[in-house]
Chain A
Amino acid sequence: MSLENRITDIIVSRLNVKKEEVTNSASLKDDLGADSLDMVDLMMDLEDTFNLKISDEDGNKLQTVGSVVEFLKGKGIEA
C-alpha cells in the first residue's frame, strides 16, 4: 500500500470522514473537522504506525494531509 493510502486510511478511521474528502490540500482542522484532541490522537497513531517520534513543534506544522505525507517522506518513510 502506498504511503498516501496508509495515511488516508488512518485519517478516515480517526476523523470519521469519507475517503474522497482526504485530499492533499485538505486541512485536517478546517476541512476534516479535527479538534486538538483528534490532532494529538492522530499524531500518536502516526507515531505508532510508522515507529517514529513527532515533536509538538513538528506536529503543529502538520496542518494538511499533504504536509503529513511530506513530513513522513522527509523522515525517510516510503510506504
Chain B
Amino acid sequence: MNLNATAVVTGAARGIGLEIAKKLINTGWTVAALDMLEDDLNRSAHKLGSMYRPYTVNITDTQQLAVVAASIGKELPVVKGIVNNAGITRDALMMRMGEDQWNMVIDVNLTGAWKVTQAFMRSLIRAREGSIVSISSVVGLIGAAGQTNYAASKAGLIGMSKSLNRELAARGITVNVVAPGFIETEMTQKLSEEVRSDYLSRIPAARLGLPVEIAEAVAFLMSPSAKYITGVVLPVDGGLTT
C-alpha cells in the first residue's frame, strides 16, 4: 500500500524517531526524515530504502528549515503528516542549571516543534486533511527532578497542540500528543542502576517500554481509524501516570 503522502518526522535518524519512521513506512507513508545526525540518517536510509528520505537539518534554524521544506515540496508526495519527535536533554537541578541549558532544551524541543509545524502546516490545510503528532513525555505530566527544562518543553508541546487543534480541527486535521513513559533508548540507558530500579518500581507494567510501542501509537493516531481523535494526550507508559 502506498498512501502517496509524506510524513515529516524530526529526529528520525535513530531511537524512537527511527521506529516511528519505520512504522509509518509500513503503513504506506513516504517519510521525510529530518535530523542533524547526517551519518545516522544515511545509515538508516540505506537500510530502509526509498520511502525513507533523509534531510540533514537543524530544526532550530528557520532558514535551513525553509530550504528543506521547499525541497520536500518539490521532491516528495504532498505532506499530510508531521511528527515532532526531535528532543534533547540537558539535566541539572534547577539550583545549578545554567540559562544556556534551559534555552537549548526549550529551543530544540518546543520552539523547534513550533517551527517545523509552521513550515509544513500549510500543506495539510490545503489538503484539508492530515495529522500532527508531537512526542511529549510523562515528565511533562508528572515532572522529574533535574528536568525543569525538559519537563517545561514537553508540557509546552501539550499546550501548543491543544491550541493548534482548535485552529485546525475543522479542516479535518488532527493534532495529538503521545506521552511516552520510560522507554528503552540511549537516553534511558544512560540512567544509573539506582534510578532505573526506582523507575521500574513505579511502573505498574513492571518494565520499560519499547520504541516500537511508541511508534504503534503514533501510527494509529495518523491512521484513518483515528480521524475523530484530536486534541488528546495519549500516555504510552505502562500505567505510570494513571
Which residues does A use to contact B, with CB under 8 Å? 35, 37, 41, 44
Contact = CB atoms under 8 A, between A and B. Distances in A.
A37 B171 contact: yes
Contacts of A35: 170
Interface string B170-212: 1100000000000000000000000000000000000000000
A44 B122 contact: yes
Contacts of B171: 37
Looking at chain B's contact residues, the main secondary structure is helix
A35 B166 CA distance: 13
A41 B123 CA distance: 11
B144 interface: no
A78 to B, nearest CB: 28
A41 B122 CA distance: 8
- Classify chain B: how many residues form its interface, as a range: under 10
Contacts of B168: 37
Interface of B: 122, 125-126, 167-168, 170-171
B122 A37 contact: no
Give the 7 A-B residue pairs with the shortest CB-CB distance, closest first.
A41-B125, A37-B167, A37-B125, A37-B171, A41-B122, A44-B122, A35-B170
Contacts of B167: 37
Contacts of A37: 125, 167-168, 170-171
A77 B110 CA distance: 40
A65 B176 CA distance: 36
Give the interface centre of A35, A37, A44 by most chain B CB atoms within 10 Å. A37
Contacts of B125: 37, 41
Nearest to B167: A37
B147 to A, nearest CB: 35
Contacts of A44: 122
B130 to A, nearest CB: 14
A36 to B, nearest CB: 9
Given A35-B170, A37-B170, 8 more contacts: A37-B125, A37-B167, A37-B168, A37-B171, A41-B122, A41-B125, A41-B126, A44-B122
Nearest to A36: B167
A37 to B, nearest CB: 6
Contacts of A41: 122, 125-126
A37 B126 CA distance: 11
